[in-house]
Amino acid sequence: AQSVTQPDIHITVSEGASLELRCNYSYGATPYLFWYVQSPGQGLQLLLKYFSGDTLVQGIKGFEAEFKRSQSSFNLRKPSVHWSDAAEYFCAVGEDSGYALNFGKGTSLLVTP
Amino acid sequence: DAGITQSPRHKVTETGTPVTLRCHQTENHRYMYWYRQDPGHGLRLIHYSYGVKDTDKGEVSDGYSVSRSKTEDFLLTLESATSSQTSVYFCAISDPSTDTQYFGPGTRLTVL
């Protein structure tokens, strides 16, 4: 069955430190891959996406993600975290254009001073 | 921001009552979706629509129905609300020019 796994439920990092959030998926072909961020009490905002081409994609707010086909992974990274990055992050996967998304359970990021 | 609104934004209701949530878009996109968000579960698909009067079930459709009589509106109905349907409900649209889903602000529903 198709699935999306975010292994880390909670992550705590110090402000200024680097960040990596993990996402693994189980799909037959290369799916459409997304990262969304949700601040408390807010809706979901798209950070970045990957469909094909260059496997390192840049997004908003200084985030980037790398698609690794051999590992079925699409990990999100940021070189230096800011306090405003504290939020919940969701990895999502779709089979094709227009298909509904299958979400991971999310990773909650806490940023300490 | 994509032109998606949801109404109501908050609702408290009692077990057994019918509830309808509305999603309205100004983008004229064909594809629309309803998800629910619960702690520890991420977002799960309830129903989706590929056009007017063209809807289908998602992963957690039991207890929910939908209707889409106009491109811009996608309604989610709980025929008889239960406490297990207490959740935050998000509507989304898919923009075919970017192959990306955009989400509404959500509706927080509490069933007592």
Interchain contact B42–A (C-beta under 8 A): yes
Using the beta-carbon criterion (under 8 Å), do A97 and B99 form an inter-chain contact? yes
Residues of B in contact with A104 (CB under 8 A): 42
Distance, in Å, from the CA atom of B32 to the CA atom of B39, rounded to the nearest integer, reads 23
- Summarize pLDDT for A40-54 with one digit per residue, the tens: 888 899 999 999 899
Q: Which DSSP helix (H) or strand (E) runs through A99?
A: none
| pLDDT at residue number B2 | 65
Class at the top of the CATH hierarchy for domain A3-112: mainly beta
> Of all residues in chain B, what percent are helix, strand and coil, respectively (each to 5)?
5, 60, 40
Cβ proximity of A100 and A92 under 8 Å: no
* Candidates A50, A105, A107, partner chain B, best to mutate (most B CBs within 10 A): A105
Interchain contact A34–B (C-beta under 8 A): yes
Would you list the domain boundaries of chain B? 4-111
Distance, in Å, from the CA atom of A54 to the CA atom of B79, rounded to the nearest integer, reads 47
Cβ proximity of A15 and A113 under 8 Å: yes
| pLDDT at residue number B37 | 96
Q: Residue B86: pLDDT band by 50, 70, 90 thresholds? A: very high
Identity of the highest mean pLDDT range in A97-101, A106-110, B92-96: A106-110
- Summarize pLDDT for A14-24 with one digit per residue, the tens: 999 999 999 99
Percent of chain B with pLDDT over 90: 89
Q: Residue A34's closest CA among A110, A100, A87? A: A100
Residue B71 CA: distances (Å) to CA of B19, B30, B52: 21, 7, 6
Average pLDDT, whole number, for chain A? 93
Interchain contact B57–A (C-beta under 8 A): no
Answer whether residue B97 shows pLDDT above 70: yes
Q: Residue B96: pLDDT band by 50, 70, 90 thresholds? A: confident
Closest residue in B to A33 (Cα–Cα): B100
Average pLDDT, whole number, for chain B? 95
Per-residue pLDDT, averaged over B9-36, amounts to 96
Residues of A in contact with B58 (CB under 8 A): 100
| pLDDT at residue number A93 | 93
Percent of chain A with pLDDT over 90: 81
Cβ proximity of A29 and A72 under 8 Å: no
Q: What is the CATH number of domain B4-111?
A: 2.60.40.10
Answer whether residue B1 shows pLDDT above 60: no
Would you list the domain boundaries of chain A? 3-112
Q: Residue A98: pLDDT band by 50, 70, 90 thresholds? A: confident
Residues of A in contact with B48 (CB under 8 A): 100
Cβ proximity of B46 and B35 under 8 Å: yes
Distance, in Å, from the CA atom of A82 to the CA atom of A13, rounded to the nearest integer, reads 10
